[in-house]
Amino acid sequence: MTEGTAAWWIVAVWAGVTSVVWVVAYLRASWTLTRMPRLSDAVPGEPSPWPKLSIVIPACNEADTIEAAIATLLAQDHPNLELVVVDDRSTDGTGEIVDRVAAADARVTAVHVETLPDGWLGKVHALHVGASRATGSWILFTDADVHYAPGALRRAHALAVDRGMDMLVLIPQLRTSGVVHESAVTAFGGLFFQTTKPDEVADPDSDAYVGGGAFNLVRRSVFDRSEGFEYLRMEVADDVGLGLVMKRAGARQECWLATGEVSVLWYPSIAAMARGLEKNMFGIIGHYRLWRLSCRLLAFTALVVGPFAGLLHSPALALVSALAFGVIPVSAAVVRTRMPGHRFLPALLTPVGQVLIIYMIARSTWVCLRNGAIEWRGTRYPLDRLAELQRVKV
């Protein structure tokens, strides 16, 4: 590539623009983290009397994780608690574990889903069933592999009541199996923060909304007047979707960091993460449309690769690219400071994680288009039906 040629200038503009975008994106993500409050810093006043809290846990083939997760909930010091555990057509012994736990503790109700109604995703239906069986004035929707530190539930519920919230979302610590795996999770988290803007959800004038599968706490009265899970019956991003329907119902939402209080092993490996996101990424990023996915994936790829091209282009652009790479340690330090439990090195390797996310998006697209459907919890869902009823569009 000769200096001054069209190709030279194309690469120069590409590398320069993407380097600037890198700086803006990383600094914005860091700013978002610094603005988000942490549950560990909260000192809420406690309600008197305590409103009843129902915890809904949808579970499908979670025999390896569910008993330990439930144990952390039953060990909480919350004074008015019930658990509704929905066994969604499990084949691995999950149902037997749930029945045994329910027999040992009167606070636990076991619900078994034997058949899935047409037009519902299995997990969304399980959440719907669990909500219908819950008797509390507050409902916490959480997953069957989430662990809670002692006192976390009492503090979070008191915080929501004390601040007059209708929905509290907690960002948990995502445990990983190694440095590369954690870099991919960190990159995914950055993408999540960029698209959902969790620091803006508390603003009543903002249309931002958020949700998380680990911890979605909602006020029952507001949830009941929302469109509920019926509206989300074919939505793969059901956790964020709950934030959407609550926002549409006028809920006052807040999102807090809780990496010291709530944790989950979000896939045991990189390979498991790629398989697990198979069902989500094409729909969430591309809205089940190849042209939309292609445009977004190409733009994301160009953004990730651009600063590297600048390093090899010319001395001047190398300096610009170096500036882009220079914001990564700053962002990594912010992640480490604001989210205890997250390590500095994986955050530093976020560009590696971004490449892995690109692969996972491409893989999800290929698998979904090859099959013309997604496979989830043993059920096949055609793409055209999913696209027709998709609610969360980022």
* Model confidence at 196: pLDDT above 90: no
**Under DSSP, is residue 59 helix (H, G, I), strand (E, B) or coil?**
strand
Q: Where residue 46 falls among pLDDT bands split at 50, 70, 90? A: very high
The predicted structure's pLDDT at residue 2? 63
Is the pLDDT score of 10 beyond 90? no
What is the DSSP secondary-structure string of 133-176? H--SSEEEE--TTEEE-TTHHHHHHHHHHHTT-SEEEEEPEEE-
**Stated pTM of the model:** 0.94
Buried-exposed string 255-293: b where 16+ CB fall within 10 A, e elsewhere: bbbbbbbbbbebbeebeebbeebbbbbbbbbbbbeeeeb
Residue 105, number of CB atoms within 10 A of its CB: 11
The pLDDT of residue 101: 97
310-316 average pLDDT score: 83
pLDDT exceeds cutoff 70 at 159:
yes
> Quick check: 1 pLDDT over 60?
no
Tokens of 388: 């027709």
What pLDDT shows up at residue 378? 83
CA dihedral 292, 17, 345, 273 (to 10 degrees): 10
Predicted pLDDT at 318: 87
pLDDT at residue 278, as a whole number: 93
pLDDT tens, 83-134? Answer: 999 999 999 999 999 999 999 999 999 999 999 999 999 999 999 999 999 9
- Work out the average pLDDT over 34-42: 94
Residue 306 is inside which H or E element, if any? helix 290-313
Condensed to tens digits (0 to 9), the pLDDT of residues 336-393 reads 888 888 888 999 999 999 999 999 999 999 999 999 999 988 899 999 999 999 999 8
Phi, psi for 388 (deg, rounded to 5): -60, -35
- Give the tokens for residue 317: 């652009």
Calculate the average pLDDT of the chain.
93
> Do 252 and 166 touch, CB atoms closer than 8 A?
yes
**292 has a pLDDT exceeding 90:** yes
Closest Cα partner for 109 from 82, 132, 129? 82
More confident residue, 145 or 6: 145
CB neighbourhood size of 230 (10 A): 13
pLDDT > 80? residue 176: yes
Chain segment 223-268, per-residue pLDDT in tens: 999 999 999 999 999 999 999 999 999 999 999 999 999 999 889 9
Residues with Cβ within 8 Å of residue 326, at least 6 apart in sequence: none
| Residue 240 contacts residue 392 (beta carbons within 8 Å) | yes
Would you call 370 exposed, middle or buried from its count of C-beta atoms within 10 A (0-12, 13-18, 19+)? exposed
The answer to which of 28-37, 89-98, 290-299, 368-377 has the lowest mean pLDDT is 28-37
Which residue has tokens 């809780």?
258
Confidence of residue 4 (pLDDT cuts 50, 70, 90): low
